[in-house]
Structure 1
């Protein structure tokens, strides 16, 4: 066919003349699918007049919005603005327009709706979709409805925007006042934030400076005060500030823990020193008792001397070991020297008696005249009991020179017998034995007639003494055997460390000496001494190394004393007492580390170190006194500052300068430092009281905002929307939350924001589900009409004239066109196409309901998903709008056979029921 005929027979709406196309529009019926498609093409015509007339035939803004995404032009925007603003008679109902506005993204249309909408609710809904601050300022200044102006002004948050709003909003004084008030709040918040940052920086610097100070009595209190001030601030610190705060806190903790450790160590050292003093007193008393017990004996035997010498050696080694660590006092040293001298005097007398024993025995046997000469050479002390040989010589000389009529002191003998009985009652075997021997000798020297009852009583006490000796020997015998086995095993053990071996050796010697002469024999003593000597020989090298170590420690102690003496000889007039205290404490620690030292130098060197420490303490006290005087001057300046006539800020700054000078001075004497600090701190507290009150006021305001936000969160947490049109309640809550911003910084505020965002998200999801359920409930209303169309389709397929199905009363507007299209499709459509479209709708509803899709419908699922994305330009449409479009298409699609519809309608019923039950 030629081009002429094609043009001749072509519809008028396709004519080349725009005027003809314009006139043809009046003859097109949009309810007919063919005419509807023609109108759609004319709505995209190249002529603006044709486009305007064609668009005037459409009253569905959802359809026009879909066209706008693909074919944007001025006439389409104008028609959309008329329909959405309600300025034309065929505009959709307000509820439908509000629903469309909730999904509208076009900025220009939203501005037009906000300015020209026929309803305040519509304008507010469009305003809520606007995010451009410039547009919000324009609406706050020029909109004709006061509520819209106020809502727009509330959403202007930037400082520049509020300034512009305060200048340009001449139409509404309330908007101007609101903008100015929010500007003032922003400035106040900025000033508060700046003040809090300055306070945080000040506290941080104070904490870092405090971490560098040495410990003082109020160190911990000052640290806790700074921590409370830091935690009381409402803003959130930066990462750098948090890092500096943690580092300074750790240094302060270390200072406190080091002081506690030092105090504990000093306490333990003092306790060990007291234990050493007690041990020394015990050692001296033991030596004194040993010498005193010898004086009370009747005669002196070899066992007594061996026991005395063993105790002297054991106690002497213990004394030297204690002196290596803790120098003794002069009094206890004098007592120890006297006891050692007494022991040595006994040993010297015994050595002389042993040397001349042979000569004395010969004199007693052959020449009594030489007895006096032997006794003179022995020179036995009168206060010591004689040996049996000397006692026999003296008795012989006394017998030769004695006077038979010498008086006998029976009362004194009776008292000595009482004392002997007392010793037996107490179980003191050694003292009782000596008393018994002495009494036995004295009674033997008396005439038999004078002994009387005294001899009988002495025999009874002698029997008790023998019983006690047997019992002690019975107990001590196994112990001596055990000690000999232990020391011989120790002598053979080469695996034990030398220090532990020497310590075990000393312990065994001490336990052996503690047994005294109980169950003692020469053979056992010889075995014990032989094993002890082998241990001494084995430890000779270790003793040498120990002596070398003691020599090195001696040199180190002497060098330490020289350094301290040099410091005291040339003191610094500005020396910090804390540094001097550290030197003193460190010197004491080093002195204890350089231990042990040789015994002969321990005492004089210890006295030298004590004198140096005393002089160093005097220097510390002198410098502390000077610092105390300087701090009293600072207190006087603080008192003058309290009474000074100046601003509170200047007074606070001057007080801070005084505090810095106070910290730089160091510490005064221990008792004086606390007293001065209490006075100075009280004055500073008075100066800072006004500032603290202001901070508390700001904290109360911040707490009030937090409480309001918490109340809002609790209210909306308990609220559950029951209808889809309750979104305004949620929007009001969002605006209320925005009005409470900015919240104070901190974890609680962040937690509130996260919880509020979660509540808003869940409530919006529920509103979407409610809207979807409401659309699903419309299926029950639509189904009778669809069933009537299916029945009409069945008559038409049987060849009968079914006619059009009448529209029920009050048919919703969005279904009227679909109803007309369904009647038209019955005459022109095919069942295959309709059944394919209905199958797609089933898949689309299944996707909306999150229900599984049959395997044979998988191609349709992909086709539906692609179509949904294409319609939304990459974004899925709102579920309720999509479901509404599905209902409209379900009504408009036909014809369909009753058999196919029976299969499909069961699936539709199940899916729509699932959608309706999602919010149950």
Structure 2
């Protein structure tokens, strides 16, 4: 169908002319579905008149809400829905309208319903559907129902929203006050959170600095104090602060654990030193016992000397090894030197005897007493040592006589005791000791009478047989062992893959094992075979030994230089030498000594003794300085205890305690056990001092918080108070005095806000009291109005009839002294009246003065009078500044005294005067 025909036969509500569509609206029936669809289409028509007419025909709000979803920005549709939901049209029940609100999300529609609704419940429901804070602020400021305003204001939570609400809610002072209070609380909470975060940051900075600091005696206590402060802080830290706290704590604990590990290592070193001392003592005791047992024997044999030599060699090697590791005690060193001197005397006597052995044997063979005596004299054998068998036989030969029976009995008793000891040694399997004792018994048996030895010879023979059997068993066991050692050393000599050090170590072990066998299963062939293999190993290790000798020489030089440095230090020690520094020198010297090892054996003992003496002297210096430090620290403990008992402020006492702690750290360490005891006592006293300071700080903080709360309560009370008369100024002064008693308040954003609010409230209340004083003055002036009227009448009669008469004060009417004076001046002025110009000028001055007091400005033609009045006010205010009420009283007093005033003059001025007085009586809003 052509377009023309389509338009011709189309419904009229689809006509292109808006006026036709407007007329078609009235003919559409909303009850018919096909025409209802047309009405709904016309509700969204492009012409506003068509939309208004169509919307007027639809009363179902559900349909309108659906149409609103299709076209949200239709103003006519909004107005129609607002009229229906607010109850202006439609006659819909409240329950139904409340149900409709639950399906509406349009902000503008909800805001309009909240402002225009005919029911409080409906408005509250609309406000509850609003979410945008600007809509809630608008409702809290503009809504006509207080409950709705309060409900909207209660949902404003942001700081910016509360700030706007406090500035714009002029309609409801309660909303304004609550907004200000919530805003102040938000700011106070924000300030509190900021302060708390700053405190945590400051504490974290201290903890991190503590984690980077080296250990000192107060380290652990300071870390525990900071950790307790962190735990006692209010609120919870954020994730970054908690992570930083844990990292700082971990570093602090590591420093503490490292120190404890060092202390444990020192304790272990002390334990090893004690063990070394015990080992030295045991070796010394063994050699001392051997030397002491020599005089108790009857004869000194070669086996005794060999045993003594082996013991001395063992003692020297072990002593040198221990001396390289630990300092030797001076007492042990003296014992060691004494033992070595005794050993040297015995060995020297033995060597002299060996050198004279051939001469003694020749003298005995010749039985030449003179030669024998000379040989014995040349031996210079010590009286404290028993003679050797050869020397004993020579002495008997020279003496030419036998012992007495008493000596023989004593020797027989000793012989029997030694037989018993020999049997015990054989029972234990102690071959060496039993062999030595058996040989001694055999020699002594030769010098005793045969008839006296009848009872012991059988026992000696039986024990000799047991000793021979034990020797055979040792040979039986030692034979295969010797063959095994020979094979092992030959195999070692033919092994090329070993390093020189490993080859030397194994060679030395094999040689030690060979020597331990002694003479058991001794065989010349095996001995020569073992010695040949050992010689080949020695040839192989010759170059390595040369290098080792050169290294030992260098180590010896380094040790010698170390000793010289330490000796130079000990010769001139500093008077205030730090024991900790001396300890570090000692430990470093020990490390240097251990690093330069080995040294040549010939000089090892001498350099070891030298270093031992140095270390002992250095340790003595350390102990001396440590004792001095302990004495000083004991004095510091007493100073801290005295400080704790002194009557000082807690903060001053804490600062002095910090000074004492600094001095403690600078002193170094006292002796180990005493240092811990002193430190524990000093730390307990310092903890008490700092605990008192923290308690005082907490108490001061609590009092400051309490003052803040009291100040807040005072501000709220004064904010709610509105004076009704000037006499109420005493209440304001009392409040100001109470506020002054609460000073000083703690610094912070909350305090600054409270001060600003307090200043504003006091300023507003003073202004109101001043206005009240002015109003009261004007009210009193109004009571004088009959007197003023009487004066005006008298002035008029004076001007008309030229009759001057005084106005009398009526009975019962009282005037203040200044007003009575003005009244008398007015009466006197009628007796000698001034010119009309003077009266007019005076009235103008009074009017201008009142205008300045009421409005603060005057007209342009009164500007000269304003300047003159201000000059007078300045001159009068030099001694004391007048209040506005006092100035108003002065103006009114002068107005009463000015006269005579003609009716025309009064008529020109009275209107403006009354207006100015009325303005002055206006009070500021509460």
Deviations 1:865-913 (A, max 9, x none): xxxxxxxxxxxxxxxxxxxxxxxxxxxxxxxxxxxxxxxxxxxxxxxxx
Deviations 1:53-102 (A, max 9, x none): 21233424466455455462210221232344454327598578647645
Write the mapping of 1:326-337 to structure 2, written as runs, cut at 5 A.
326-337=326-337
Residues 230 and 304 (structure 1), Cα distance of their counterparts in 2 relative to 1, 3 Å cut = same
TM-score scaled to structure 1, two decimals?
Answer: 0.63
CA positional deviation for 1:248: 3.6
Q: Is this contact kept in 2: 1:141–1:165, CA < 8 A?
A: yes
Q: Is this contact kept in 1: 2:113–2:123, CA < 8 A?
A: yes
CA positional deviation for 1:267: 1.4
Who is 1:75 aligned against?
Answer: 76
CA positional deviation for 1:307: 4.3
Which among 602, 607, 630 is matched to residue 601 of structure 1? 607
CA positional deviation for 1:223: 1.2
Secondary structure of the corresponding residue to residue 157 of structure 1 = coil
Who is 1:688 aligned against?
Answer: 694
Q: Is this contact kept in 1: 2:657–2:689, CA < 8 A?
A: no
Write the mapping of 1:356-755 to structure 2, written as runs, cut at 5 A.
356-358=356-358, 360-361=360-361, 371-379=372-380, 393=394, 401-402=400-401, 409-426=408-425, 427=428, 428-470=430-472, 538=541, 540=545, 541-559=547-565, 562=568, 568-569=573-574, 571=576, 581=580, 584-585=583-584, 587-595=586-594, 596=597, 598-615=604-621, 618-619=624-625, 622=628, 644=649, 657-658=655-656, 661-667=659-665, 670=675, 671-689=677-695, 691-692=697-698
Residues 435 and 388 (structure 1), Cα distance of their counterparts in 2 relative to 1, 3 Å cut = same
CA positional deviation for 1:275: 1.8
Separation (CA, whole Å) in 1 of partners of 2:434 and 2:258: 57
Who is 2:157 aligned against?
Answer: 157
Secondary structure of the corresponding residue to residue 131 of structure 1 = coil
What is the total number of aligned residue pairs between the two structures? 681
Residues 617 and 350 (structure 1), Cα distance of their counterparts in 2 relative to 1, 3 Å cut = closer
Separation (CA, whole Å) in 2 of partners of 1:564 and 1:380: 44
Separation (CA, whole Å) in 1 of partners of 2:330 and 2:500: 33
Who is 1:896 aligned against?
Answer: none
Residues 297 and 434 (structure 1), Cα distance of their counterparts in 2 relative to 1, 3 Å cut = farther
Separation (CA, whole Å) in 2 of partners of 1:332 and 1:477: 42
Residues 303 and 603 (structure 1), Cα distance of their counterparts in 2 relative to 1, 3 Å cut = closer
Who is 2:271 aligned against?
Answer: 271
Q: Is this contact kept in 1: 2:115–2:144, CA < 8 A?
A: yes
Separation (CA, whole Å) in 2 of partners of 1:635 and 1:360: 82
Deviations 1:667-695 (A, max 9, x none): 36634443333223213212322544798
User: What residue ranges of structure 2 are gaps of 5+ in the alignment?
Assistant: 706-926
Separation (CA, whole Å) in 2 of partners of 1:191 and 1:550: 72
Who is 1:56 aligned against?
Answer: 56
CA positional deviation for 1:465: 4.3
Tell which deviates more after alignment, 42-51 or 137-146.
137-146
Separation (CA, whole Å) in 2 of partners of 1:620 and 1:450: 69
CA positional deviation for 1:351: 4.2
Secondary structure of the corresponding residue to residue 29 of structure 2 = coil
Who is 2:728 aligned against?
Answer: none
Residues 582 and 393 (structure 1), Cα distance of their counterparts in 2 relative to 1, 3 Å cut = closer
Deviations 1:211-266 (A, max 9, x none): 45543455323312312322343445467755654554344223212211211211
Q: Is this contact kept in 2: 1:303–1:517, CA < 8 A?
A: no
Separation (CA, whole Å) in 1 of partners of 2:303 and 2:252: 65
CA positional deviation for 1:28: 1.2
Q: Is this contact kept in 1: 2:64–2:81, CA < 8 A?
A: no
Q: Is this contact kept in 2: 1:208–1:248, CA < 8 A?
A: yes
Secondary structure of the corresponding residue to residue 688 of structure 1 = helix
Separation (CA, whole Å) in 1 of partners of 2:259 and 2:464: 64
Residues 75 and 219 (structure 1), Cα distance of their counterparts in 2 relative to 1, 3 Å cut = same
Q: Is this contact kept in 2: 1:273–1:326, CA < 8 A?
A: yes
Q: Is this contact kept in 1: 2:422–2:438, CA < 8 A?
A: no
Q: Does 1:314 align with 2:319?
A: no
Deviations 1:563-595 (A, max 9, x none): 6877x43759xxxx6xx6256335424433432
Secondary structure of the corresponding residue to residue 215 of structure 2 = coil
Q: Is this contact kept in 1: 2:44–2:71, CA < 8 A?
A: no
Deviations 1:332-380 (A, max 9, x none): 2333334334444454455455555555555555675655555555555
Separation (CA, whole Å) in 2 of partners of 1:391 and 1:536: 44
Separation (CA, whole Å) in 2 of partners of 1:516 and 1:224: 66
User: What residue ranges of structure 1 are gaps of 5+ in the alignment?
Assistant: 645-650, 700-920
Q: Is this contact kept in 2: 1:294–1:300, CA < 8 A?
A: yes
Separation (CA, whole Å) in 1 of partners of 2:330 and 2:110: 103
Q: Is this contact kept in 1: 2:123–2:148, CA < 8 A?
A: yes
Q: Is this contact kept in 2: 1:301–1:387, CA < 8 A?
A: yes
Q: Is this contact kept in 2: 1:111–1:126, CA < 8 A?
A: yes
Who is 1:778 aligned against?
Answer: none
Separation (CA, whole Å) in 2 of partners of 1:208 and 1:546: 49
Residues 679 and 326 (structure 1), Cα distance of their counterparts in 2 relative to 1, 3 Å cut = closer
Separation (CA, whole Å) in 1 of partners of 2:632 and 2:339: 49
Deviations 1:21-73 (A, max 9, x none): 33321221345454234223322333322211212334244664554554622
Which gives a bigger RCO, structure 1 or 2 (Cα 8 Å, sep 6+)? 1
CA positional deviation for 1:139: 1.9
Who is 1:259 aligned against?
Answer: 259
Separation (CA, whole Å) in 2 of partners of 1:385 and 1:353: 13
Separation (CA, whole Å) in 2 of partners of 1:527 and 1:385: 40
Residues 11 and 332 (structure 1), Cα distance of their counterparts in 2 relative to 1, 3 Å cut = closer
Q: Is this contact kept in 2: 1:561–1:612, CA < 8 A?
A: no
